Structure 1
Amino acid sequence: MLLYLLITCLSFFFFAKSLPLPPWVSKTKTLHSFYFSKNFFTNSLHPTTPDLASPVLGQMSILDLPDLPLDCILDNLSPSGLCSMARVCSSLRERCVSDHLWEKHLKTKWGKILGPSAHKEWQCYLSSPYHLDSPHHQTSHHGLTKIISLIRSLSSILGDDNHRRRYPSSIPLDSTMSFYLSLETGRFWFPAQVYNRENGHVGFMLSCYDAELSYDTHTNTFQARYPPHGRRAIAIEKDVTWERIRAAPIDASPHHLYVSDSLNELKPGDHIEIQWRRNKEFPYGWWYSVVGHLESCDGNLNHCQCHISEMMVLEFNQYTVGSRWRKTMINRRDHREKGNEEDGFYGGIRKLKCKEDIEMWKRLWPSSILE
C-alpha cells in the first residue's frame, strides 16, 4: 500500500516538474513536499536499507498514474496544455482529444455566441473542401506558422499526415477538438447575430442582424460578413468585439416572418424586439422597442386599458419626438407584416423576458437622440 502511494506521489511530482500546469498543481506540489519531508524525518528515526535492485523509480511515467488522478490532471489543463500533452505519445493523445475534455473549453469560450444554427452549419462544413482534413487545408498548412502556439499545436496534431496514418481513428473529423480548432483559426465562418452592424452606422442603431463571423486570434475580434440583398453586395465589417455578438435567439431564416406567440400578453412598459426590413428584398433585422400607451390613454396604470386593446403602440425612443421612426402601431389580433417601401416593413415580435437581454440593449443606447 505504501509503495502504491509512493508511486502515485512521485508521478505527480515528476509530472509537475516537466510540464506547464495550471495554478492548482502548485498546491499538489506543496502536499508532496510535506509528504516527502515527513518520510525523511521518519526514516531518520527508523533508518531502513533501500532496495537498490528495484527498478520502479527509474521507470516512472505519467501513464503509471491511476485513471482517476490522470483524468483529473487532463481535465484541468488549458487547450494549449492538452495539445502539448497530446504530442507526447499515442496513449496520451487518445485521452487528450476526447470530446468530454474539449466540450468544457468550447462552452466556456464559445458557448454564448454559438446557437443551434452554428452547430448545423458545422455539420455542413465537415463535408466541405475547407475542412481541416481536406487537401485544401493541407496545401495551406504552412500559413499557420504565424498563429499563436495553441493553434500551432492543434493544427499540427490534426494536420500531420504521419499522425493520421498511425492513429487514424484517434481524432474523428467531427470531434469537439476539431470544432474548437476551426473556430480558433477563423477557418470556420459560423452564423450569429451582430448588434449595431457596420460599426454602429446610424441607420442600424439599436438593431441586431444576421451575419457569418470569422475569429481573428491576433486581435481577439471577429470579421462579420453580412448577406447580400437586392443590388447591394456582401458587406464586410472588421474588428467586431465579443460584446456585440449573440447567438440567434430564433433558429429561422432572416427572410422569414416570425410568428409571434406573446402578442396577447404584451402591455405598456414591456421590452420587445421586432423584425424590420427596408424593403421586400432585404433580410429582417431585430430592432429594440418598448410597448407604449395609446393616445386615448393618459398613462395612469389604475385606469389603463391598453393591454386589452386590439391596437398596440410600439415606441422607438432612440429617435427624437416627431420622427417618423419614433412610433408605429400594430394589430395584435391579426398581426402580419405591415409597412410600405418608404417606411419599411415591420414583422414578428418577441417579448424580452431576460434582464440580461434588456440590459444589453441599454448598454448599446446611442449617446445622442437620432433624427
Structure 2
Amino acid sequence: MLLFLLSCFSFIIVFKSSNLYEMVSFLTPKFWIQLFLRPVLKNHASFELSKLDDFEMSLLDLHDLALDQILEQLSPAELCSLAGVCTYLRSKCRSNDMWEKHMEKKWGRIIGNAALREWHWYMANNNKRKYSISGGNNGGSFYSICSWWPLNLVFRPKLQRKSEIKGDLPPDSIMAWYLSLETGEFWFPAQVYNRENGHDGFMLSCYDAKISYNLKTDTFQARYSPHGRRTIEENISWSRLRTPPIDTPPYNLHISDCLDDLRPGDHFEIQWRRNKAYPYGWWYGVIGHLESCSVNEDHCICHDSETVIMEFNQYAPESRWRRKKVSRKDHREEGNEADGFYGGIRKLYSKQEISMWKSLWPTKVLN
C-alpha cells in the first residue's frame, strides 16, 4: 500500500508539472466531440451548445467507427502512448490499418521491394526477437511514455497489470516494421546519390547500400560494399536516397531492353564499376549524336546506327569519361581495368527521375 501511495504521489507531481495533462485532454472523447460537433450544432437553433460542456463519457464508450476516426488523426508517438492504456486500445493502436498511412507517408519513397524482402529475411532469422512498444535504440523519450502505467489510471479505473497492457509487437505488424526503421534497428537496402557526400569521383552516380535511420538527426548512415576506399558514410539526407528502381542486384549485369529505343537527347542510367570485384553503380547521362551527324533534327540518322553515343556532360569535353560508344545489338559488359567496366542501360522516362538527376548537377566541370 505504501508503495502504491508513493507511486501515485510521484505521478501527480510529474503529471501536473509536464505536458501530459494537455496530452490526456487531447485524447478524451469530449475534446474530439467538441472539436467536430460544435461547428455543426451551432447552426441548429434547437440545440443548446452548453450541453456539450456537460458531456461526459469514456473513450471506450465510443462506437468503433468514431474511435477509429479519432485514432487516425493521431501521430505515431500518440498511437504508441495510447496503446499503453488497455488491451482494447492496444489492439486498435497497433493494427496495420492505423499504421499503413504513417508507413507510406514517412518511408514510402525509400522503401521498396528489396527492403520488404530484407525485412522478411530479418524477421525469419530473428524469430525470437521481441518488439516492445516502449523500446528503441535512439527513440529515447519518444517511446518511453508508451507503457508508463500511471497514465492508465487517468483513462480507465479497471485496467490489467502492466505486463498485460504492454505486450510485444507481433513481428509481421506494420507497427513493428515502423518502429524498427524509426529506431535505426533495421538496416535496409536503398540507393544513395553522390556517395561520399558528393566526392568528385562519384558525382551523378547512385550506389546500393544498407542504410539505417538516426531519429535524433533525421539523417541516415550507409554501409557500402566492402570493396573500395570507404565503406561507411554518415549524415545522409533524405533527398539523397531512393528505392532501387529495378530489382537487379548490384553485382549482376542488368539486361538492357531499351537499346533500340534510344535517341539523341534521351536520358539514361548505365551500370559502371571500377573492376569486376566491385559492385555496379548507376551513372546518369544523355544520348548524344554521332560525330558524322549534322545534329539537325530533320536530318539526324543516329537512331538508325548500330552505335549509340553515351554522353556524360558533367565531364570536360577532353575528358576520357565524357563519351562512350556502345552497340545496340550485342551490348554486354565491356571495358578494362584502366577505364572500368560498363554494364546494363536503362532509359529514363520519368520526368521526376530526370529532374532529380539535374538537381544533383555538380557546380564545377569534372575532369
TM bucket, shorter chain:
0.7 to 0.9
Q: Which runs of 5+ in 1 are unaligned?
A: 1-14, 44-55
User: 2:38 aligns to what?
Assistant: 30
User: 2:175 aligns to what?
Assistant: 177
Superposition RMSD on alpha carbons, in Å? 3.2
User: 2:26 aligns to what?
Assistant: 19
User: 2:101 aligns to what?
Assistant: 104
TM alignment of 1:290-369, pairs within 5 A = 290-369=286-365
Q: Secondary structure at the match of 1:304?
A: coil
Q: Kindly tell me: are residues 128 and 366 of structure 1, through their superposed partners in 2, closer, same or farther at Cα, counting changes over 3 Å?
A: same
Q: Secondary structure at the match of 1:239?
A: strand
Q: Deviations over 1:109-167 (max 9, x none)?
A: 00000010000000111134498517xx99xx9875x634434356989xxxx767668
Q: Which whole-Å CA distance do the structure 2 matches of 1:300 and 1:39 have between them?
A: 76
Q: Secondary structure at the match of 1:290?
A: strand
Contact 2:139 2:182 survives alignment (8 Å): no
In structure 2, give the amino acid aligned to 1:180: Y
Candidates 107, 113, 117, aligned match of 2:114: 117
In structure 2, give the amino acid aligned to 1:18: S
Q: Which runs of 5+ in 2 are unaligned?
A: 1-21, 150-160
Contact 1:225 1:234 survives alignment (8 Å): no
Contact 1:79 1:150 survives alignment (8 Å): no
Shift of 1:61: 1.0
1:152 aligns with 2:163: no
Q: Which whole-Å CA distance do the structure 1 matches of 2:312 and 2:55 have between them?
A: 73
1:280 aligns with 2:276: yes
Q: Which whole-Å CA distance do the structure 2 matches of 1:65 and 1:75 have between them?
A: 14
Q: Kindly tell me: are residues 90 and 35 of structure 1, through their superposed partners in 2, closer, same or farther at Cα, counting changes over 3 Å?
A: farther
Q: Which whole-Å CA distance do the structure 2 matches of 1:297 and 1:354 have between them?
A: 27
Q: Which whole-Å CA distance do the structure 2 matches of 1:218 and 1:16 have between them?
A: 22
TM alignment of 1:223-238, pairs within 5 A = 223-229=221-227, 232=228, 235-238=231-234
Candidates 66, 70, 74, aligned match of 2:63: 66
Identity of aligned residues (%): 51
In structure 2, give the amino acid aligned to 1:195: Y
Shift of 1:77: 1.2
Contact 1:154 1:181 survives alignment (8 Å): no
Q: Which whole-Å CA distance do the structure 1 matches of 2:198 and 2:279 have between them?
A: 18
In structure 2, give the amino acid aligned to 1:121: E
Shift of 1:40: 3.8
Q: Secondary structure at the match of 1:222?
A: strand
Q: Kindly tell me: are residues 25 and 228 of structure 1, through their superposed partners in 2, closer, same or farther at Cα, counting changes over 3 Å?
A: farther
Contact 1:155 1:181 survives alignment (8 Å): no
Q: Secondary structure at the match of 1:301?
A: coil
Shift of 1:41: 8.0
Q: Secondary structure at the match of 1:314?
A: strand
> Which stretch shows the higher mean deviation, 62-71 or 283-292?
62-71
Shift of 1:171: 3.4
Shift of 1:271: 0.1
1:263 aligns with 2:259: yes
Q: Which whole-Å CA distance do the structure 2 matches of 1:270 and 1:41 have between them?
A: 64
Q: Secondary structure at the match of 1:194?
A: strand
Q: Which whole-Å CA distance do the structure 2 matches of 1:252 and 1:265 have between them?
A: 21
Calculate the TM-score normalised by the size of structure 2: 0.81
Q: Kindly tell me: are residues 254 and 190 of structure 1, through their superposed partners in 2, closer, same or farther at Cα, counting changes over 3 Å?
A: same
Q: Kindly tell me: are residues 196 and 42 of structure 1, through their superposed partners in 2, closer, same or farther at Cα, counting changes over 3 Å?
A: closer
Shift of 1:174: 1.3
Calculate the TM-score normalised by the size of structure 1: 0.81
